[in-house]
Structure 1
Amino acid sequence: MVQNTDYKKLIATTLTKMEVMQARITELETRQKEPIAVVGMGCRFPGGITSPEEYWNYCQAGLDAITEVPKSRWDSSKFYTKEPTIGKINTHYGGFLQQDITEFDARFFSISSREATSMDPQQRLLLEVTWEALENANLPPNNLADHTVGVFVGITSVDNAITVYNSSYDQIDSFFGTGNALSAAAGRLSYFFNLRGPCLSIDAACASSLVAVHQAIRSLRNRECELALVAGVNLILNPAITINLSQSGMLSPDGRCKTFDASANGYGRGEGCGVLVLKTLSEAQKKGDRILAILRGSAVNHNGAAAGLTVPSGPAQQELLRQAIADARITPEDVGYIEAHGTGTSLGDPIEMNAIASVYGKRSQPLYVGSVKTNIGHLEAAAGMAGIIKTILVLQQGEIPAHLH
């Protein structure tokens, strides 16, 4: 009888532990699919755009931000050519910031004037727009040290370092390394705001800022951080990379992305910076934050051995869309608008549109597709931020701005 009682206690204890374990597994599985809230955002884009409000007004008005290359970047007359020529560029247009990128309040960010001079302007822009995004989120920047905050920055351009190399090695001082290393772009934010969570600079070419968002979502779901700052930044400071892109046949002569149009003949380069402030939806609701939008799912993959290193793969894009839909726990029919990559190339656009049609095509309601690149150009590492912020504004306003060209 004693043994039977012991067995019953053992079984009861085991069942209790199994119930606890099952509850824990369910909690972890739920956490891995938890929606993420956007609680703040800031931006600087071509066309003189310095805020999300100005961005919406610009898109709604159907304006075109493409201009000639500013003299402050380079003398385009020395590089422009209509005919393919080594060392030359087939366009003298692009989407450039109207603000003077040399202006920076170094004292405000506790940086000496000497160090600020050696910093890549992209780092300075990140500091400014991140501050603005935190203000937009009603989060006092000076109080972030009390929380575990992650920083995820999409960045690829090394134009500033190239400019220094091309001018004089005498300009390389003790601040050059931290001022120009891509890894320091994220580190600069963590250092200034005294943040101790994950800190990553991500170079995934034109997908950089979207991959940064994906990594931030995973970090928040895994409780590696309770708040995430996600950014994308891109500045065009000298002609070197533009020469390379022109020689590769990627650029449109008129500098405009004619997305999904029969006249598409390449993309127009653009620059800018966008920052999102993210929390898990449950945390944002608990804190009473203003929720601008909800990110329900994300996915990331690679083409593998496709037709070429930079050639898009239709099957890979289709699989990516399906993975994102599954992660969001929705169906294709639930999606009413897609802010596409849509660079305006005769190779990439059809592949992307075919992938969209394959995944979303069977539906009873219309699916609207657009790309803000037709307004402001392709911001490369910051393009994802421009697309996400536009989509948030579309959801808020209940209106889809006109697609240009």
Structure 2
Amino acid sequence: MPDISKAASPRENAEGMAIVGMSCRFPGSMGCEAYYQSLLSGADLFSPPPRERWSWCADDAVVVRRMGGLDDVFSFDNALFRLSPREAETMDPHQRLLLEEVWLAIEDAGYHPEIFARRSTGVFAAIYNQDFQFYTRAGDWDEISRMYLAMGSAHSIVPNRVSYVFDLHGPSEVVDTACSSALVALHRAVEAIRNGECEQAVVGGASLLLEPSRLVMLQDLGLLAIDGDCMPFDRDSGGQVLGEGVAAIIVKPLARARKDRDFVYAVIGGTGVNHQGARSGGLTRPSAAAQADLMRRTYARHRIDPETIRYVEAHGNGGSGDVSELLAFQDVLPAGTPVGSVKGNIGFLEAAGGLSQVIKVVMAMRHGVLPGTRSHRHLLEDEALSDEACRILQADTLLEALRGEGKQPFTVAVHAYGLGGCNAHVVLREPCSIARAGMTEAALPLLFSGEDVTQTAELVERFLLWLAEDPAVSLSDMAFTLATGRPARRHRLAIMASTPAEAATRCRAWLASDRAERAEGHPLDDIVRDWLAGGAPDWNLHLSGSRIGIPLTAWRRRHYPLPPLKGGASGEVPA
């Protein structure tokens, strides 16, 4: 069990929090890099509603033509998570997919889940979609399956299942503030770390469309764009476009991330939440004054100068609330501050939406280009809104063009408001560059370990597939991550190499051999020999380099569809 006495000190927390791992599946993409590239290309990522999921409904009453859908929400590797097929089939797909994204985010951070769990870890899951409840009531489940449904369908179990499967011992909470859920979950995670409740945190969000009643309800309320084109902040917008998504990020104190030699995607400079109270005159009507007040309080608490905000990734869903956001920004930020919204590309992802915003800007910091806002043409009109107050970023733009004078880290704000009045604001900044170790001519050990030679060989094969995609990766980073981020099993292999190319050659040579040797390449020093003999040297003392994501998991997914309904097909949308 983790030692909670090792929680970060106030001094460590004062430097801010770091995002050290990410994973996502959003419309048109799997993974953060694919997602970012799809935004840069300005691709149309909308598709027809997934009627095959509710083929039992003869007349679903859906008239919207497009939404931001995921291609496959029913495949799941139950064996990886030690779940029986029977239990897996009774789990809400939100639970299943979030488990996978958390695993991928941990791996992206450079850790095997077993190593990651050694620190007290909180789990904060944003979810509010109730679609699976319909299938728990109307599905044709047998007696054994019904025993699992209580755990498979309860929202409280979503974070609890993550904590259980990964053996995590910090807070484990659902966050449901409607549209702002993901950013509120991120705020809750940051505060839990600051307060010593955990040393690091997983923040996840999931939203899927499993049956049509919610889509029809939003459509009948006049909130959705019938043509399926989301136009953020546009005077001619026809409404919102619903989307699906699942994502997870890993957060820890920046000082701790540096000590652990983690790759830092971005620094969380500050977070804040509030409720609008009765200011707007309606429970579901966003309040510009409340959003502006939240921004001021967040900046004051974290000593952030509004003048340093170079861009805002806004909620901007093409609905009536767009004007409230712009009025809030006009009230607090310098005139002309660029504003954008990813919803023009992928739609409104509900509980997962905030993470789609965060991952977009974090990837932009990594690559140096901020994707433009798709489908914005003409700024919406309001008598209180100045044309010069905010500038909608329509084209892909170099960060250098937005940075301004000086060498300050590029700083952005991410903003969201919830249907019931809960607002959230997050400030992110790019990390300071760390001096990298130079090229080494000395051979470094690349360590692989499985329960037997077959498992070790599978790890080597997957390593080669990954290395082929990025052959320029640092050898010292590979060596450090493999040595410190993965558990040592019974069968151990050391590949000695002085360049990535040599590493690939030696890996292939070992795979082509009889695999009897425990090492490939020379020279072997005493530390490597000790490890091969079953020892546990502290590789932090012997290897330079930083932690990187090396995906070595073999995914063996099975298809777990929604159940048939009792008594066969129905011709109506569920009430």
- TM-score after normalising by structure 2: 0.61
1:276 has 2:249 as partner: yes
1:125 has 2:97 as partner: yes
Amino acid at match of 1:334: T
State the partner residue of 2:122. Answer: 150
Out of 114, 134, 145, the residue aligned to residue 162 of structure 1 is 134
Amino acid at match of 2:101: V
Out of 165, 184, 201, the residue aligned to residue 228 of structure 1 is 201
1:68 has 2:48 as partner: yes
d(CA) in 1 for partners of 2:302, 2:181: 21
Out of 105, 110, 115, the residue aligned to residue 87 of structure 2 is 115
d(CA) in 1 for partners of 2:126, 2:183: 8
1:399 has 2:399 as partner: no
State the partner residue of 1:6. Answer: none
Kept in 1, the 8 Å contact 2:13–2:253? The answer is: no
d(CA) in 2 for partners of 1:246, 1:300: 29
Out of 42, 50, 61, the residue aligned to residue 23 of structure 2 is 42
Q: Is the strand fraction higher in 1 or 2?
A: 2
Kept in 2, the 8 Å contact 1:298–1:323? The answer is: no
Deviations 1:132-188 (A, max 9, x none): 101110011012332101000000111112133234475761110111111000011
State the partner residue of 1:335. Answer: 309
Give 5+ residue unaligned stretches, structure 1: 1-26, 81-87
d(CA) in 2 for partners of 1:162, 1:186: 21
State the partner residue of 1:55. Answer: 35
Q: State the secondary structure of the residue aligned to 2:126.
A: strand
Q: CA deviation at 1:262?
A: 1.2
d(CA) in 2 for partners of 1:35, 1:292: 13
1:216 has 2:189 as partner: yes
Describe the shift of the 1:319–1:90 C-alpha distance in structure 2 as closer, same or farther (beyond 3 A): farther
State the partner residue of 1:15. Answer: none
Give 5+ residue unaligned stretches, structure 2: 1-7, 376-575
Out of 159, 169, 173, the residue aligned to residue 196 of structure 1 is 169
Kept in 2, the 8 Å contact 1:89–1:247? The answer is: no
Out of 140, 143, 160, the residue aligned to residue 187 of structure 1 is 160
Percent identical among aligned pairs is 39
1:101 has 2:73 as partner: yes
Q: State the secondary structure of the residue aligned to 2:328.
A: helix
Q: CA deviation at 1:45?
A: 0.4
Kept in 2, the 8 Å contact 1:76–1:92? The answer is: no
State the partner residue of 1:139. Answer: 111
Describe the shift of the 1:223–1:248 C-alpha distance in structure 2 as closer, same or farther (beyond 3 A): same
State the partner residue of 2:533. Answer: none
Kindly report which structure 2 residues correspond to 1:292-371, keeping only aligned pairs within 5 A, or say none: 292-305=265-278, 306-345=280-319, 347-362=320-335, 366-371=336-341
Amino acid at match of 1:119: M
State the partner residue of 2:516. Answer: none
Q: CA deviation at 1:76?
A: 11
1:385 has 2:329 as partner: no
Q: State the secondary structure of the residue aligned to 2:296.
A: helix
Q: CA deviation at 1:261?
A: 0.7
d(CA) in 1 for partners of 2:141, 2:283: 34
**Higher relative contact order (CA closer than 8 Å, sequence separation 6+):** 1
d(CA) in 2 for partners of 1:241, 1:33: 43
Q: RMSD of the alignment, in Å?
A: 2.0
Q: Is the helix fraction higher in 1 or 2?
A: 1
Amino acid at match of 1:376: I
State the partner residue of 2:400. Answer: none
Amino acid at match of 2:213: A
Deviations 1:170-211 (A, max 9, x none): 576111011111100001100000111110011110111110
Q: Aligned residue pairs: how many?
A: 366
Deviations 1:369-394 (A, max 9, x none): 11111000100000000000001011
State the partner residue of 1:24. Answer: none
d(CA) in 2 for partners of 1:258, 1:307: 26
Q: CA deviation at 1:78?
A: 5.3
Describe the shift of the 1:45–1:64 C-alpha distance in structure 2 as closer, same or farther (beyond 3 A): same
Q: CA deviation at 1:53?
A: 0.7
Amino acid at match of 2:209: I
